[in-house]
């Protein structure tokens, strides 16, 4: 009997010790997944950033658009572009309303640069200003953009905008200027500091939870696991662009 009690005590002790050890190690295990890239290290193709949007949760909400405007300083997020007509004003992201002609079913979804794996905009840019970073984020290098707007002709999602007038007071994180083309950067300035895009953050804050951001190359990331379970369609999938932005409920 005594031996049994001792054994039990020993077992208890080991159990607790193991739990304690596990608890000590666990943060390290979880942190490993979201370890921030040091500032002096370049982006790598080991990671591929992507977004998954559940369109069934979107409805008439506009949080993502407002957040992007505030973060990046366009539209209602700045007092710029006063001279441009509504059709000339830049839009990095917009809500699109779909009504099925046959069934009458109504959907709503946010549409921004889809960060394709084989972006047509990158293919057509004569100077290479339209580029895809190693980690999959598609950007415009406005230093060498000559403003020819060929990328705007080529984009299947009409994601790009041209700046039609002088700008001032730009956000430090989002330089933008007359005569160059721009589009959603997936908040690359946030992503590089281990953050999430403003639209995703706003959607989560507003408790709608329609948008997920993460590493598509990591099979254990939230986005990858959700994609595996619920699937994620591309807009204009037939073009074979393998977009980084995927949609549920299309």
Phi and psi, residue 9, nearest 5°:
-60, -45
The one-character DSSP state at 243 is: B
- Using rule CB under 8 A, residue 202 touches another protein: no
By CB under 8 A, residue 4 contacts another protein: no
Work out how close the CB of 101 gets to another protein at its nearest, in angstroms, rounded to a whole number. Answer: 6
- Least distance (Å) between residue 118 CB and another protein: 10
Mapping DSSP to helix (H, G, I), strand (E, B) and coil, where does residue 214 land? strand
List the interface residues with another protein, window 17-76 (CB under 8 A). 37, 39-43
State which residue, 52 or 181, has the beta carbon closest to another protein.
181
SS3 per residue for 153-220 = HHCCCCCCEECCCCCCCCCCCCCCCCCCEECCCCCHHHHCCCCCCHHHHHHHHCCCCCEEEEECCCCC
As a whole number of angstroms, the distance between CA 139 and CA 145 comes to: 11
x/- site string to another protein, residues 139 to 168, per CB under 8 A?
x-xxxxxxxxxx-xxxxxxx-xxxxxxxxx
Shortest spacing between CB 238 and another protein, in angstroms: 9
Stretch 91-150 residues interacting with another protein (CB under 8 A)? 91, 94-102, 107, 111, 120, 122-129, 131, 133-135, 139, 141-150
Q: How far is the CB of 112 from another protein (least distance, A)?
A: 10
C-beta closer to another protein: residue 117 or 225: 117
> Alpha-carbon distance 82 to 89, whole Å?
9
């Amino acid at each position: 009997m005594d031996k049994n009690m001792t054994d039990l005590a020993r077992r208890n002790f080991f159990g607790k010790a193991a739990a304690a050890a596990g608890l000590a190690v666990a943060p390290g295990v979880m942190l490993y997944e979201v370890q921030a890239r040091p500032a002096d290290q370049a982006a790598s193709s080991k990671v591929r950033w992507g977004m998954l949007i559940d369109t069934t949760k979107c409805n008439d909400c506009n949080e993502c658009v407002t957040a992007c405007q505030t973060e990046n300083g366009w539209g209602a997020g700045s007092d710029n572009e006063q001279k441009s007509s509504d059709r000339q004003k830049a839009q990095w992201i917009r809500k699109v309303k779909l009504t099925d002609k046959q069934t009458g079913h109504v959907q709503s979804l946010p549409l921004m640069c889809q960060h394709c794996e084989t972006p047509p905009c990158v293919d057509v840019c004569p100077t290479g200003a339209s580029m895809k970073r190693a980690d999959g984020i598609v950007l415009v290098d406005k230093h060498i953009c000559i403003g020819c707007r060929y990328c705007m002709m080529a984009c299947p999602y009409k994601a790009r905008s041209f700046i039609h007038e002088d700008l001032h007071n730009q956000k430090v994180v989002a330089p933008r200027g007359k005569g160059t083309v721009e589009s959603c950067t997936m908040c690359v300035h946030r992503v590089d500091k281990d953050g999430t895009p403003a639209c995703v953050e706003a959607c989560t804050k507003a408790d709608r939870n329609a948008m997920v951001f993460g590493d598509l190359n990591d099979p254990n990331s939230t986005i990858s696991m959700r994609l595996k379970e619920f699937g994620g369609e591309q807009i204009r999938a037939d073009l074979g662009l393998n977009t980084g932005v995927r949609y549920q409920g299309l």
